[in-house]
Structure 1
Protein backbone atom coordinates (compact mmCIF):
# COMPACT_ATOMS: atom_id res chain seq x y z
CA UNK A 1 0.00 0.00 0.00
CA UNK A 2 2.92 2.29 0.31
CA UNK A 3 3.25 2.36 -3.48
CA UNK A 4 0.01 4.26 -3.98
CA UNK A 5 -0.17 7.87 -3.14
CA UNK A 6 -3.34 9.83 -2.68
CA UNK A 7 -1.94 12.89 -4.46
CA UNK A 8 -0.90 11.25 -7.76
CA UNK A 9 -3.39 10.52 -10.53
CA UNK A 10 -3.00 7.52 -12.83
CA UNK A 11 -4.55 7.68 -16.29
CA UNK A 12 -5.27 4.29 -17.73
CA UNK A 13 -6.73 5.51 -21.01
CA UNK A 14 -6.33 8.76 -22.87
CA UNK A 15 -8.88 9.97 -25.41
CA UNK A 16 -7.56 9.77 -28.97
CA UNK A 17 -7.11 13.09 -30.69
CA UNK A 18 -9.80 14.30 -33.04
CA UNK A 19 -9.04 14.86 -36.69
CA UNK A 20 -9.30 18.61 -36.26
CA UNK A 21 -6.76 18.45 -33.42
CA UNK A 22 -4.38 16.39 -35.55
CA UNK A 23 -4.42 19.11 -38.19
CA UNK A 24 -3.53 21.91 -35.79
CA UNK A 25 -0.23 23.69 -36.29
CA UNK A 26 0.89 22.80 -32.75
CA UNK A 27 0.57 19.05 -33.35
CA UNK A 28 2.30 19.30 -36.73
CA UNK A 29 5.25 21.19 -35.23
CA UNK A 30 5.57 18.63 -32.40
CA UNK A 31 5.59 15.77 -34.92
CA UNK A 32 8.28 17.50 -36.98
CA UNK A 33 10.46 17.93 -33.89
CA UNK A 34 10.12 14.21 -33.13
CA UNK A 35 11.04 13.29 -36.70
CA UNK A 36 7.73 11.66 -37.57
CA UNK A 37 7.10 11.66 -41.34
CA UNK A 38 4.25 14.01 -42.25
CA UNK A 39 2.18 13.59 -45.39
CA UNK A 40 0.20 16.52 -46.74
CA UNK A 41 -2.36 16.19 -49.50
CA UNK A 42 -4.63 18.78 -51.00
CA UNK A 43 -8.16 17.84 -51.86
CA UNK A 44 -9.00 18.40 -55.50
CA UNK A 45 -12.52 19.73 -56.20
CA UNK A 46 -13.54 18.98 -52.64
CA UNK A 47 -16.34 21.50 -52.33
CA UNK A 48 -17.82 21.10 -55.78
CA UNK A 49 -20.87 18.93 -56.23
CA UNK A 50 -20.56 18.29 -59.94
CA UNK A 51 -21.13 15.12 -61.85
CA UNK A 52 -18.53 14.47 -64.52
CA UNK A 53 -20.25 11.52 -66.16
CA UNK A 54 -21.13 12.12 -69.79
CA UNK A 55 -24.61 11.08 -70.75
CA UNK A 56 -23.79 10.63 -74.42
CA UNK A 57 -21.71 7.91 -75.96
CA UNK A 58 -18.43 9.78 -76.47
CA UNK A 59 -16.90 7.15 -78.75
CA UNK A 60 -19.92 7.37 -81.03
CA UNK A 61 -19.62 11.15 -81.07
CA UNK A 62 -15.92 10.92 -81.95
CA UNK A 63 -16.72 8.71 -84.95
CA UNK A 64 -19.39 11.14 -86.11
CA UNK A 65 -18.22 13.13 -89.11
CA UNK A 66 -21.42 14.95 -90.05
CA UNK A 67 -21.67 18.65 -89.43
CA UNK A 68 -24.76 19.13 -87.31
CA UNK A 69 -26.60 22.44 -87.30
CA UNK A 70 -30.13 23.75 -87.02
CA UNK A 71 -31.89 25.15 -90.04
CA UNK A 72 -32.18 28.91 -89.92
CA UNK A 73 -35.35 30.83 -90.49
CA UNK A 74 -35.28 32.91 -93.64
CA UNK A 75 -35.43 36.68 -93.74
CA UNK A 76 -38.90 36.50 -95.27
CA UNK A 77 -40.34 35.19 -91.98
CA UNK A 78 -38.72 38.08 -90.10
CA UNK A 79 -40.17 40.54 -92.56
CA UNK A 80 -43.63 38.94 -92.24
CA UNK A 81 -43.47 39.28 -88.45
CA UNK A 82 -42.34 42.89 -88.79
CA UNK A 83 -45.16 43.72 -91.20
CA UNK A 84 -47.72 42.01 -88.95
CA UNK A 85 -46.43 43.97 -85.96
CA UNK A 86 -46.60 47.26 -87.81
CA UNK A 87 -50.11 46.49 -89.09
CA UNK A 88 -51.29 46.09 -85.48
CA UNK A 89 -49.35 49.19 -84.32
CA UNK A 90 -47.43 47.10 -81.77
CA UNK A 91 -44.06 48.02 -80.33
CA UNK A 92 -41.27 45.46 -80.25
CA UNK A 93 -41.73 45.16 -76.50
CA UNK A 94 -45.44 44.38 -76.86
CA UNK A 95 -44.62 41.82 -79.53
CA UNK A 96 -42.04 40.22 -77.24
CA UNK A 97 -44.53 39.90 -74.38
CA UNK A 98 -47.08 38.30 -76.70
CA UNK A 99 -44.46 36.01 -78.29
CA UNK A 100 -43.21 34.45 -75.06
CA UNK A 101 -45.41 31.44 -75.66
CA UNK A 102 -45.03 28.39 -77.89
CA UNK A 103 -45.08 28.59 -81.69
CA UNK A 104 -48.80 27.96 -82.08
CA UNK A 105 -49.64 30.89 -79.80
CA UNK A 106 -47.35 33.09 -81.91
CA UNK A 107 -49.30 32.15 -85.03
CA UNK A 108 -52.53 33.10 -83.30
CA UNK A 109 -51.08 36.35 -81.92
CA UNK A 110 -49.88 37.45 -85.36
CA UNK A 111 -53.02 36.13 -87.10
CA UNK A 112 -50.87 34.91 -89.98
CA UNK A 113 -49.11 31.72 -91.00
CA UNK A 114 -45.38 31.75 -90.35
CA UNK A 115 -44.60 28.26 -91.72
CA UNK A 116 -45.40 26.23 -94.78
CA UNK A 117 -46.27 27.19 -98.34
CA UNK A 118 -48.71 29.93 -97.41
CA UNK A 119 -46.37 32.12 -95.32
CA UNK A 120 -47.84 35.51 -94.60
CA UNK A 121 -51.40 34.49 -95.43
CA UNK A 122 -54.06 35.23 -92.81
CA UNK A 123 -54.68 32.45 -90.35
CA UNK A 124 -58.04 30.73 -90.81
CA UNK A 125 -60.77 31.02 -88.21
CA UNK A 126 -60.48 28.29 -85.59
CA UNK A 127 -63.40 25.94 -85.10
CA UNK A 128 -64.89 25.79 -81.63
CA UNK A 129 -65.14 22.36 -80.05
Structure 2
Protein backbone atom coordinates (compact mmCIF):
# COMPACT_ATOMS: atom_id res chain seq x y z
CA UNK A 1 0.00 0.00 0.00
CA UNK A 2 0.99 3.57 -0.50
CA UNK A 3 1.99 5.78 2.28
CA UNK A 4 -0.53 8.46 3.36
CA UNK A 5 0.47 11.94 4.34
CA UNK A 6 -1.56 12.81 7.44
CA UNK A 7 0.05 16.20 7.80
CA UNK A 8 -1.40 17.82 4.65
CA UNK A 9 -4.74 19.56 4.70
CA UNK A 10 -7.15 19.35 1.79
CA UNK A 11 -9.67 22.14 1.48
CA UNK A 12 -12.78 20.96 -0.30
CA UNK A 13 -14.56 24.31 -0.53
CA UNK A 14 -13.16 27.69 -0.02
CA UNK A 15 -15.46 30.64 0.04
CA UNK A 16 -14.31 33.46 -2.14
CA UNK A 17 -13.76 36.85 -0.67
CA UNK A 18 -16.96 38.76 -1.08
CA UNK A 19 -17.22 42.50 -0.76
CA UNK A 20 -18.69 43.61 2.52
CA UNK A 21 -22.06 45.27 2.21
CA UNK A 22 -22.43 48.21 4.53
CA UNK A 23 -25.97 48.45 5.82
CA UNK A 24 -25.42 51.32 8.23
CA UNK A 25 -24.17 54.83 7.65
CA UNK A 26 -21.58 54.30 10.41
CA UNK A 27 -19.96 51.45 8.41
CA UNK A 28 -19.65 53.66 5.34
CA UNK A 29 -18.14 56.49 7.38
CA UNK A 30 -15.63 54.09 8.98
CA UNK A 31 -14.60 52.80 5.54
CA UNK A 32 -14.09 56.34 4.26
CA UNK A 33 -11.85 57.20 7.21
CA UNK A 34 -9.64 54.17 6.63
CA UNK A 35 -9.38 54.96 2.93
CA UNK A 36 -11.06 51.74 1.81
CA UNK A 37 -12.55 51.52 -1.64
CA UNK A 38 -16.25 52.33 -1.59
CA UNK A 39 -18.71 51.54 -4.34
CA UNK A 40 -22.27 52.79 -4.16
CA UNK A 41 -25.24 51.58 -6.16
CA UNK A 42 -28.77 52.84 -6.17
CA UNK A 43 -31.50 50.27 -6.58
CA UNK A 44 -34.31 51.52 -8.78
CA UNK A 45 -36.66 48.66 -7.91
CA UNK A 46 -35.61 48.11 -4.30
CA UNK A 47 -38.01 45.98 -2.31
CA UNK A 48 -40.06 44.75 -5.27
CA UNK A 49 -40.02 41.61 -7.35
CA UNK A 50 -40.50 43.49 -10.60
CA UNK A 51 -37.66 43.65 -13.04
CA UNK A 52 -36.76 46.95 -14.63
CA UNK A 53 -38.01 47.01 -18.20
CA UNK A 54 -37.74 49.69 -20.82
CA UNK A 55 -41.49 50.19 -20.69
CA UNK A 56 -41.29 50.96 -16.98
CA UNK A 57 -38.82 53.77 -17.56
CA UNK A 58 -40.95 55.12 -20.40
CA UNK A 59 -43.94 55.27 -18.10
CA UNK A 60 -41.94 57.08 -15.43
CA UNK A 61 -40.64 59.57 -17.98
CA UNK A 62 -44.16 60.16 -19.26
CA UNK A 63 -45.32 60.93 -15.73
CA UNK A 64 -42.33 63.23 -15.12
CA UNK A 65 -42.92 65.22 -18.30
CA UNK A 66 -46.69 65.51 -17.91
CA UNK A 67 -47.57 69.09 -17.10
CA UNK A 68 -51.33 68.82 -16.84
CA UNK A 69 -52.79 67.60 -13.62
CA UNK A 70 -56.20 66.17 -14.38
CA UNK A 71 -58.76 66.60 -11.64
CA UNK A 72 -60.90 63.56 -10.88
CA UNK A 73 -64.39 63.65 -12.39
CA UNK A 74 -67.12 65.22 -10.28
CA UNK A 75 -70.85 64.55 -10.14
CA UNK A 76 -72.54 66.13 -13.15
CA UNK A 77 -74.80 69.14 -12.63
CA UNK A 78 -77.91 67.36 -13.90
CA UNK A 79 -77.33 64.48 -11.48
CA UNK A 80 -76.89 66.88 -8.55
CA UNK A 81 -80.05 68.73 -9.55
CA UNK A 82 -81.99 65.45 -9.86
CA UNK A 83 -80.91 64.43 -6.34
CA UNK A 84 -82.01 67.80 -4.89
CA UNK A 85 -85.36 67.71 -6.70
CA UNK A 86 -86.16 64.08 -5.78
CA UNK A 87 -85.23 64.68 -2.14
CA UNK A 88 -87.44 67.77 -2.00
CA UNK A 89 -90.33 65.87 -3.66
CA UNK A 90 -90.12 63.22 -0.96
CA UNK A 91 -89.79 66.01 1.64
CA UNK A 92 -86.60 64.55 3.11
CA UNK A 93 -83.76 66.50 4.69
CA UNK A 94 -80.17 65.73 3.73
CA UNK A 95 -79.70 64.08 7.11
CA UNK A 96 -82.78 61.87 6.67
CA UNK A 97 -81.64 60.78 3.21
CA UNK A 98 -78.17 60.05 4.56
CA UNK A 99 -79.68 57.92 7.32
CA UNK A 100 -81.78 56.01 4.76
CA UNK A 101 -78.75 55.14 2.65
CA UNK A 102 -76.38 54.58 5.61
CA UNK A 103 -74.02 57.40 4.67
CA UNK A 104 -72.91 60.59 6.39
CA UNK A 105 -74.93 63.77 5.78
CA UNK A 106 -71.79 65.35 4.36
CA UNK A 107 -71.82 62.77 1.54
CA UNK A 108 -75.36 63.77 0.51
CA UNK A 109 -74.36 67.45 0.69
CA UNK A 110 -71.35 66.87 -1.59
CA UNK A 111 -73.46 64.99 -4.14
CA UNK A 112 -76.10 67.72 -4.19
CA UNK A 113 -73.51 70.47 -4.60
CA UNK A 114 -71.71 68.55 -7.37
CA UNK A 115 -68.41 68.39 -5.49
CA UNK A 116 -68.39 64.63 -4.87
CA UNK A 117 -66.43 62.09 -6.89
CA UNK A 118 -69.13 59.69 -8.14
CA UNK A 119 -69.31 56.33 -6.40
CA UNK A 120 -71.58 53.80 -8.09
CA UNK A 121 -72.59 52.16 -4.80
CA UNK A 122 -73.69 55.46 -3.26
CA UNK A 123 -75.56 56.43 -6.42
CA UNK A 124 -77.36 53.06 -6.40
CA UNK A 125 -78.43 53.58 -2.78
CA UNK A 126 -79.69 57.07 -3.60
CA UNK A 127 -81.58 55.80 -6.66
CA UNK A 128 -83.40 53.21 -4.57
CA UNK A 129 -84.14 55.59 -1.71
CA UNK A 130 -85.38 58.39 -3.98
CA UNK A 131 -86.96 56.23 -6.69
CA UNK A 132 -85.27 58.26 -9.44
CA UNK A 133 -82.60 57.37 -12.04
CA UNK A 134 -79.29 59.07 -11.30
CA UNK A 135 -77.01 57.25 -13.77
CA UNK A 136 -76.92 56.70 -17.49
CA UNK A 137 -79.52 58.26 -19.76
CA UNK A 138 -82.86 59.68 -18.61
CA UNK A 139 -81.47 61.11 -15.36
CA UNK A 140 -84.29 62.33 -13.13
CA UNK A 141 -86.95 59.94 -14.45
CA UNK A 142 -88.69 57.50 -12.10
CA UNK A 143 -87.12 54.08 -11.71
CA UNK A 144 -88.87 51.25 -13.49
CA UNK A 145 -90.22 48.22 -11.62
CA UNK A 146 -87.59 45.82 -10.31
CA UNK A 147 -87.63 42.38 -11.76
CA UNK A 148 -86.15 40.11 -14.39
CA UNK A 149 -84.99 41.59 -17.66
CA UNK A 150 -86.46 39.99 -20.78
- Per the normalisation by structure 2, the TM-score is 0.41
Q: What's the TM-score, normalizing by structure 1?
A: 0.46
Structure (1 or 2) with the larger CA radius of gyration: 1
Where is the helix percentage greater, Structure 1 or Structure 2?
Answer: 2
